[in-house]
C-alpha cells in the first residue's frame, strides 16, 4: 500500500496552535458523550412515558403512543436532524425563529433534542415490550390489593419491566452514542467530526480514523461492562438473569 504512515501525528500540534491532535480527538469524544448522555435523559423520560401510554387501558392513548413511535421511527435520523436545525426556525413565529438561530452551541442543543426524541420512540418500544412481557396477574394483583392504576405501574409493573429490558436498553444507549455522530452534519464537532478535521488538516486519513475507532471501541466496552454490573446488582432473585445486549442499530 502506497501510504505514508505516521503514528506520531497524534502528538503534533493541531492548527488551533495550543492542542495536539490527540487532544482534539478527546474533545470530540467529550462532545459525543455529552450529547449522548443529555439525549439519553430525554429518551428515557419520554420513552418510558410513551411506552406506558401504549399499554394503557384507553384505546385512544394507545393509538396516540403508536403514532408517536411510528412518526419518529420512519423518518431517517439525518432528515430529522435537518428538520430541527433548518426547518423549525423557519416555521415557528419569527421572534422564536430568530431566537433559535442565535443560541450559542445551537447544533449541540439541536442534536440533543433530535437524538433524544428519536431514541425515545425506540425506548418506548422496549418499555411497552417489557410491560407486556409481565403476566397479567401482576397488574390484577396490584389493583386487587387496592393500588390505583398509576401506583400499580409505579410500584409493581415498571420496576420489573425495566429490569427485563436492561439488555435492549443497553443496545439503545450504545446506539445513541453512535448516532450522535450524525450531528456532524449540522456542525457539531463530536468524535467523528474531530477525526474528519484531523484528517483534513494533517492528511493522515487512516491514523485519524483509527484513533476515533479505538475511542468508540473503548466507550463501547466501558458501557457494556457497566451495564452488566448494573444488571447483576438489580437482578431480582428467582428470575433468570438476562443475557448480553441484543443486536440492533
Q: Interface with another protein includes 209 (CB under 8 A)? A: yes
How near is the Cβ of 198 to another protein at its closest, in Å? Answer: 11
Cell numbers describing residue 95: 421572534
**Nearer to another protein among residue 169 and residue 212 (C-beta):** 212
Q: Find cell 490527540 and name the residue.
A: 22
Please answer whether residues 213 and 25 qualify as being in contact, where contact means their C-beta atoms are separated by less than 8 angstroms. Answer: no
DSSP state of 16: T
d(Cα 182, Cα 190) in Å, to the nearest integer?
9
Q: Interface with another protein includes 195 (CB under 8 A)? A: yes
| Ramachandran sector of residue 175 (left: φ over 0; alpha: ψ -120 to 50; beta: rest) | alpha
Q: Interface with another protein includes 75 (CB under 8 A)? A: yes
48-56, 133-141, 151-159, 207-215 -> range binding another protein (CB under 8 A): 207-215
Per CB under 8 A, the list member of 205, 228, 235, 242 interacting with another protein is: 205
Q: Interface with another protein includes 23 (CB under 8 A)? A: no
**Nearer to another protein among residue 126 and residue 192 (C-beta):** 192
Determine the number of helices (DSSP H) and then strands (DSSP E) in the chain.
12, 0
Cell numbers describing residue 6: 505516521
Q: Which of residues 149-188 bind another protein (CB under 8 A)?
A: 174, 177-182, 184-185
d(Cα 246, Cα 230) in Å, to the nearest integer?
17
**Residue from 163, 145, 151, 138 nearest 237 by CA:** 163
Q: Interface with another protein includes 78 (CB under 8 A)? A: yes
Can you give the binding site for another protein, defined by CB under 8 A? Answer: 1-3, 70-71, 73-80, 82-83, 86-87, 90-93, 174, 177-182, 184-185, 192, 195-196, 199, 205-206, 209, 212-213, 216-217, 220, 247, 249
Amino acid at each position: 500500500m502506497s501510504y505514508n504512515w505516521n503514528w506520531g501525528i497524534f502528538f503534533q500540534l493541531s492548527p488551533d496552535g495550543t492542542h495536539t491532535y490527540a487532544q482534539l480527538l478527546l474533545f470530540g469524544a467529550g462532545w459525543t458523550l455529552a450529547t449522548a448522555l443529555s439525549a439519553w435523559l430525554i429518551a428515557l423520560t419520554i420513552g418510558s412515558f410513551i411506552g406506558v401510554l401504549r399499554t394503557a387501558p384507553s384505546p385512544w392513548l394507545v393509538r396516540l403512543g403508536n403514532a408517536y413511535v411510528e412518526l419518529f421511527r420512519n423518518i431517517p435520523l439525518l432528515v430529522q436532524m435537518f428538520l430541527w436545525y433548518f426547518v423549525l426556525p423557519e416555521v415557528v413565529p419569527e421572534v422564536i425563529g430568530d431566537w433559535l438561530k442565535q443560541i450559542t452551541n445551537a447544533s449541540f442543543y439541536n442534536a440533543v433534542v433530535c437524538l433524544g426524541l428519536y431514541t425515545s420512540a425506540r425506548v418506548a418500544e422496549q418499555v411497552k415490550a417489557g410491560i407486556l412481557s409481565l403476566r397479567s396477574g401482576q397488574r390484577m394483583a396490584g389493583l386487587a390489593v387496592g393500588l390505583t392504576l398509576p401506583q400499580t405501574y409505579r410500584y409493581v409493573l415498571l420496576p420489573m419491566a425495566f429490569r427485563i429490558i436492561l439488555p435492549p436498553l443497553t443496545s439503545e444507549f450504545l446506539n445513541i452514542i453512535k448516532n450522535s455522530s450524525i450531528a456532524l452534519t449540522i456542525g457539531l464537532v463530536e468524535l467523528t467530526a474531530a477525526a474528519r478535521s484531523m484528517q483534513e488538516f494533517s492528511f493522515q486519513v487512516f491514523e485519524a480514523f483509527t484513533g476515533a475507532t479505538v475511542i468508540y471501541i473503548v466507550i463501547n466496552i466501558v458501557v457494556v461492562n457497566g451495564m452488566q454490573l448494573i444488571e447483576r446488582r438489580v437482578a431480582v432473585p428467582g428470575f433468570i438473569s438476562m443475557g448480553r445486549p441484543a443486536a440492533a442499530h
